[in-house]
Amino acid sequence: MNDASTEGSERMIGMQEVTASALLTNKVGLHARPSVKLTQLAKRFASRIEVATSAAGPWTDAKSPVKIMRVKASQGEVLHFKASGADATAAITALVDIVTRKFDEE
């Protein structure tokens, strides 16, 4: 017997959730340009990706520039990332890397 709920469960087995954090060191924090760069990068991945300034949340969709700008993270704050999906590890690695590189702006 293979009903829809069983199929959904089987798909979830292949999913992974990955978390990481990065210190926001660029001078302007998470303003317009860095927000757009972060969301453009996040959109390259199929995984669900979220960001927060606290490990406890609230979590924000990393693929939405407007929502990311509302995070209003400043220099010195820690950005927490979590992703779930087949390419979650690659997504988190790329996002932490761009934050560490100060969004290639400095």
Cα 72 to Cα 2, 93, 101, distances in angstroms:
46, 22, 19
pLDDT at 106: 78
The domain containing residue 31 runs over which residues?
16-104
Q: What pLDDT shows up at residue 8?
A: 35
Q: Is there a contact between 96 and 81 (Cβ–Cβ < 8 Å)?
A: yes
Residue 14: per-residue pLDDT: 56
Number of domains in the chain: 1
Q: Is residue 55 part of a domain?
A: yes
Catalytic residues, by residue number, are 31
> What is the model's pTM?
0.83
CATH number of the domain where residue 91 is located: 3.30.1340.10
Residue 11 lies in a domain: no
pLDDT string in tens for the chain (106-residue length): 333 333 333 344 456 799 999 999 999 999 999 999 999 999 999 999 999 999 999 999 999 999 999 999 999 999 999 999 999 999 999 999 999 999 998 7
Q: Is 84 part of any domain?
A: yes
